[in-house]
Amino acid sequence: MSNLWIAALEAPDRARLEPHLTERRFTQGQVLYEAGEPVEDVWFPLEGVVSLMTVLSEERMVETAAIGREGLVGVTCGPMNGRASSRAIAQLAGSAACCPADAFAEALAGSETLRMALAKFTESLFAQVQQTAACNAQHRLDERLARWLLTLHDRADGDRFALTQADIAGMLGVRRATVSEVGAVLEDRHLIRRGRGWVEVLEREALEQAACGCYGLLRGVMKDLGVPRPIAA
């Protein structure tokens, strides 16, 4: 597999990064960096999904963005690279090509086209963060759950992925019992199927119709900016 953001770069820009890349695995639930920590590496996912989490009081947290092989993780705190503004945690296990932050900063300094590619992705990421915040505040939980499952499905390798009720509750910022109830609604409509520690998407098109409009809006933003669609191969 390849990272779609890197693959879309012009050849000279890829050549700036490739000598510094090393592949690393990450496991589900692994914290790549904590909020407030220095970001030493930029992660370019090859498979799997990384969630950016806003940590609230008493260790409660809620997901504000999800990143797969369409993007990169570690550049949300300014050039280059400062401290992380959120927790980055692996939502689905996978791997990434990692580049030292100082090497990435040097590559950015030497290429306007690389800086533009990063700016487009960062703008789409901020749009996701803002839309997710609005979604969490305004939309019904069943719509939010459908939207979130679609976001994972885009980036997952297949229709079934490892998720527990606790995982979903943590991402959406609700109680596990609430997730069970709302998940049953989608399951009764034959949109998803659930088992112990996994969720399977059964009817992708119908799930899109069940989701709030945020999902379609964010796909439109990515298209307008020319950011690769987060569809796993």
- The CATH class, in words, for 136-222 is mainly alpha
The CB density around residue 78, as the number of other CB atoms within 10 Å, is 11
For the ranges 68-82, 140-154, 175-189, 207-221, the lowest mean pLDDT is seen at 68-82
Per-residue confidence (pLDDT) for residue 59, from 0 to 100: 65
196-227 per-position pLDDT tens digit: 999 999 999 999 999 999 898 988 888 888 88
- Mean confidence (pLDDT) of the chain: 89
Query: Superfamily for 4-112?
Result: Jelly Rolls (2.60.120.10)
Token pair recorded at residue 186:
């989608």
Per-residue confidence (pLDDT) for residue 233, from 0 to 100: 42
Contact status, residue 70 vs residue 155, Cβ threshold 8 Å: yes
Looking only at the bridges linking them, the beta strands covering 41-55 and 160-162 are: unpaired
DSSP H helices in 82-210: 101-109, 112-138, 141-155, 165-172, 176-188, 204-210
Per-residue confidence (pLDDT) for residue 58, from 0 to 100: 64
Contacts of 19 (CB under 8 A, 6+ apart): none
Closest by CA position to 94, among listed 44, 169, 33: 44
The answer to whether residue 12 scores a pLDDT higher than 60 is yes
Domain ranges of the chain: 4-112, 136-222
33-88 per-position pLDDT tens digit: 988 888 889 999 999 999 998 877 666 778 889 999 999 998 754 454 467 888 99
Tell me if domain 4-112 and domain 136-222 are identical in fold. no
The CB density around residue 159, as the number of other CB atoms within 10 Å, is 13
Place of tokens 């199927």: 193
* 169-173 CB contacts, 8 Å cutoff, 24+ apart: 170/61, 170/62, 170/63, 171/51, 171/62, 171/63, 171/91, 172/62, 172/63, 172/136, 172/141, 172/144, 172/145, 172/148, 173/56, 173/60, 173/61, 173/62, 173/63, 173/136
The answer to whether residue 158 scores a pLDDT higher than 70 is yes
188 band by pLDDT with thresholds 50, 70 and 90? very high
Q: At what angle do helices 141-155 and 165-172 cross, to 10 degrees?
A: 110
